[in-house]
Structure 1
Amino acid sequence: MVAPIPIASFGNNTQVAQDIRARLLPEYDIAHICLSLEAAETELPAICGGNLDTEPSSGLGSNASLPVGERKVPRAIIFGGGIPDDQVRLIREAVLAKAPEVKPIHLTRQDILNAGGNGPDPEIIGRLLRQKLAELVDQSDSESQSSA
């Protein structure tokens, strides 16, 4: 079995973050979860840049329970629908400055409504994220094959 692709998330709802994490397994592992702008500003550029000493202040995500040497560097960041565009932009720019290969994914509240949800529905969010993550993986695979 192939190891799950590690990702990070920045949202503002602990329960939704946990529910989505469970729905993305086993293909995707939310290794690092941030629940505040302050945490995302410091933690996400560091962990995505390869600093495995960076612990999730939320205590959530698979990296929270792993020793430093076993932690995973996220390959994508998912942003929750409740995160304002200016904060998404701020964090995305900070992360890409340290780790340009990391793929940002922002699901908006409108995306969730358009998919039939009427709030932070983990089932719908999980389905939408799986679609977007699969597109990114396909894109990364074809980019790496064309540069080979």
Structure 2
Amino acid sequence: MSVTITKYSQFNKAILSVLNNPAGSTLKLALVGSGYTFSAAHTDWSTSVESYEITGTGYTAGGQALANLALNGHVDNATIVDGDFWLDADDVLWSAATLTARRGILYNATTGELLASILFDDTPADISVTDMDMLVQWSELGLLQLD
């Protein structure tokens, strides 16, 4: 089992809006079930993904806001320069949860723009927890990097 993170096609545009207005942007991680089929062409949370969001004990609709978000990027003429951008945040924890999910969707809750899909198990299979913590732990190198 390995985790796969795939950016949506509009990732650079969506992250630029966050870089230009970090105080006015709320990035969230939401969980979706196996009914959602990833397409890089999906652009908006409410029209492309929201109907596939899971429900469960300990989970709140819309997902969880990323805490202590850290953005570092080099922008040249409104374009992110590869190798000079990273995104990091605190790990995401759903405590005493009972839920089943296939993917996490990283999106800007302020604009609805989709950033990335996180496939938790590339077999692919659902991840289930019953009355226990579900932790999404980011790499020590950050959540996302462009290289």
TM-score normalised by L of structure 1: 0.27
Higher helix content, 1 or 2? 1
Q: Which of the pair has the greater relative contact order for Cα pairs under 8 Å at 6+ separation? A: 2
Hey, which of these two has a bigger chunk of strand by percent?
2
